[in-house]
Amino acid sequence: MNSGATYITGSCIIRHNRVYLNGSLLWEADPALELPEFLRAGYDRFSGQYPKFHKMDALSKLGWLAAEVLLKDTAIAALRPEQTGMVLSNRSSSLDTDLRYYATVKDFASPALFVYTLPNIVMGEISIRHGFKGENTFFVSPAFDTALMSSYPAQLLAETPLAACICGWVEVMEQQYEVALFLVENIQRPNSILLTEAALTALYQQNNS
Amino acid sequence: MADLKAQIIEQLNLQEVAPESIGDDQPLFTKEGLGLDSIDALELIVLLQQHYSIRIANPEEGPKIFHSVRTMATYITENQTVKA
């Protein structure tokens, strides 16, 4: 049994070609880089050795990269696979890839693009990378809903076998992108913050200049 | 076969694979080989259609055709439509 409290134990925000970990700027790429080049540069800097990355669509690459940064120095790997879940959201669903796929249909429909024409595939890619088998859900909403994203993961941690949940926002539409992932757990860790709507809103709005 | 290797790399987005690192007889779909998956197989079918105008009539031939770069090259040579 846990105490019922849920804590934000880590965050990774990537926007404006900058990567923030737990509120601190970790890396800043050339602002002129377009999204594909930025994602490749981020992969080279923070990961490498995962060739499947190059086959992903931009949405999966972005979420995967943020998870890579977020989870690097956490104790999440010590949990059983079914103890880590995910609740993600965005505005454009998989529309960026849907349009790219549609453009191929009149010639040769691309199987490689087709498999990314659902937004929840990003959670599958993160789960494959880290071995997660916990519950996951993807919401589509006009903006990052901090009320939902503070209450629903907390409910999952209280009422299901989950001990950790990655929640947040991962949005890609053409060159516009933003990802904000938060690791929430049912135990307190150093520098963790009690998960509330206000706390999540404050963290999301940090580093947004 | 060098051209075919380059086409495979481009079609499958194998950005960390050099054409010269793919052996002519290296299995394409085993972990010991190139480690391709079922989506890659579909992309190889598209490659044959796009570059060589070849449609595989019998899907059961797939494992034999796509065993290695050499088996693909042989199949292309035997089935390629000469374009005007």
Q: Determine whether the interchain pair B46/A108 forms a contact, defined as Cβ–Cβ distance below 8 Å.
A: yes
Give the best residue of A54, A100, A117 to mutate against chain B (max B CB count within 10 A).
Answer: A54
- Which 3 state secondary structure label does DSSP give B25? coil
User: What band does B82 get if pLDDT is binned at 50, 70 and 90?
Assistant: low
Distance from CA of A30 to the nearest CA of B (A): 22
Q: Determine whether the interchain pair A112/B14 forms a contact, defined as Cβ–Cβ distance below 8 Å.
A: no
B46 lies within 8 A of chain A by CB: yes
B13 lies within 8 A of chain A by CB: yes
State ipTM. Answer: 0.81
User: What is the maximum alpha-carbon separation in chain A?
Assistant: 57
Tally of domains in chain B: 1
User: What band does A195 get if pLDDT is binned at 50, 70 and 90?
Assistant: very high
Q: Per the domain annotation, does B10 fall within a domain?
A: yes
We find that the CATH architecture of domain A7-205 is 3-Layer(aba) Sandwich (3.40)
Alpha helix (H) residue ranges in A2-94? 35-46, 58-71
Which CATH number covers residue B22? 1.10.1200.10
For A19-44, give the DSSP string: EEETTEEEEE--TT--HHHHHHHHHH
Which residues form the domain of B16?
2-79
Q: Determine whether the interchain pair B12/A108 forms a contact, defined as Cβ–Cβ distance below 8 Å.
A: no
Q: Per the domain annotation, does B39 fall within a domain?
A: yes
Q: Per the domain annotation, does B84 fall within a domain?
A: no
Query: For the segment A54-110, what is each residue's pLDDT rounded down to a tens digit?
Result: 999 999 999 999 999 999 989 999 999 999 999 999 999 999 999 999 999 988 899
Query: For the segment B29-79, what is each residue's pLDDT rounded down to a tens digit?
Result: 988 888 899 999 999 999 999 999 999 988 899 999 999 999 999 999 999
The yes-or-no verdict on residue A2 having pLDDT over 80 is no
- pLDDT at position B81: 67
